[in-house]
């Protein structure tokens, strides 16, 4: 039976478990989850064996995800410099990688392709023009193939992202909302951000965190329900805005991710 919360399907991010098909199968058996946010990296590297295994296990793919090899998450400054589509030297290769991921998404008949686009920054006009141009280029490619590109939240405030979405005004561009990222990057309260970004939220991550006490440093990811997202208020806000997409549990820290993901399922279905 499909696991749901507020009537929305609950899934898992494949990369949370290293896209290990055996571990994903065990999680499926343990939790009853059957929806997945799928990293395209393994599918691009192994000639289709990863996708074959995912399909044989009966997963329903709610969205795909593409990451870029130059990204350095060691510090906030490092990811600001290396994140997403902004680095010039890597842009040609990253554009080609994105288009390959888009082809995988189309072949799987999946409606959304997600990514961390990089920082929105209006202080440098040349950077701003470049960033907007590249986003439009990728969104155009998605739109031509019936896919929506979803930018993930976190790197900027909700107001900044809202202004960006209104200005770029692209029908093939939406948001994958990650509440913990708002905290990890020391930005807005997630519940407030949901209301600001409501028109563009198509898919979301279930992830929790605690805010840093040292300016310029990362916050800390924690199991769902143990941090500062506030599950009850967050889920109420999603219901308020009429969110009807998939909720993919993401766990990128911790020593027992299967247990933490299972706990998140329990907590989501208990509310």
**Residue 159 — φ and ψ, nearest 5°?**
-65, -40
What does the pLDDT look like over 134-170, one tens digit per residue? 999 999 999 999 999 999 998 899 999 999 999 999 9
As a whole number, mean pLDDT of residues 43-56 equals 91
Please compute the mean of the pLDDT values over residues 195-210 and round it to a whole number: 98
Instruction: Please state, in angstroms and rounded to a whole number, the distance separating the CA atoms of residues 64 and 208.
Output: 21
Q: Which fold has domain 4-270?
A: TIM Barrel (3.20.20)
Q: What is the pLDDT of residue 1?
A: 64
- Collapsing DSSP to helix, strand or coil, 246 comes out as coil
Whole-structure pTM value:
0.97
Q: Residue 172: beta bridge partners?
A: none
- The CA distances from residue 101 to 4, 16, 200, in Å, are 28, 19, 22
Average pLDDT of the residues in 76-97: 97
Tens digits of per-residue pLDDT, 93-125? 999 999 999 999 999 999 999 999 999 988 899
- In the beta sheet, which residues pair with residue 65? 39, 114
Could you tell me the residue ranges of all domains in the chain?
4-270
């Amino acid at each position: 039976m499909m696991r749901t919360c507020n009537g929305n399907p609950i899934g898992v991010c494949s990369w949370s478990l290293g896209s290990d098909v055996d571990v994903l199968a065990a999680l499926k058996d343990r939790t009853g989850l059957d929806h997945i946010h799928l990293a395209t990296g393994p599918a691009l590297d192994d000639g289709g064996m990863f996708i074959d295994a995912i399909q044989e296990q009966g997963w329903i793919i709610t969205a795909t995800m593409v990451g870029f090899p130059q990204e350095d998450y060691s510090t906030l400054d490092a990811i600001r410099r290396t994140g997403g589509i902004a680095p010039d030297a890597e842009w040609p290769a990253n554009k080609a990688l994105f288009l390959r991921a888009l082809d995988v998404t189309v072949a799987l008949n999946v409606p959304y392709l997600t990514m961390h686009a990089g920082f929105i920054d209006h202080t440098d006009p040349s950077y701003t023009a470049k960033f907007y141009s590249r986003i439009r280029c990728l969104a155009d490619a998605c739109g031509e193939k019936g896919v929506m590109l979803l930018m993930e939240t976190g790197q900027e405030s909700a107001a900044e992202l809202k202004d960006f979405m209104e200005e770029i005004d692209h029908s093939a561009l939406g948001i994958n909302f990650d509440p913990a990222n708002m905290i990890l990057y020391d930005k807005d309260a997630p519940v407030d951000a949901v209301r600001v970004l409501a028109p563009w939220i198509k898919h979301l991550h279930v992830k929790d965190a605690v805010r840093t006490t040292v300016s310029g440093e990362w916050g800390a990811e924690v199991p769902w329900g143990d941090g500062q997202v506030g599950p009850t208020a967050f889920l109420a806000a999603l219901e308020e805005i009429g969110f009807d997409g998939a909720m993919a549990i993401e766990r990128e820290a911790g020593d027992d991710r299967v247990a933490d993901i299972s706990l998140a399922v329990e907590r989501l279905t208990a509310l």
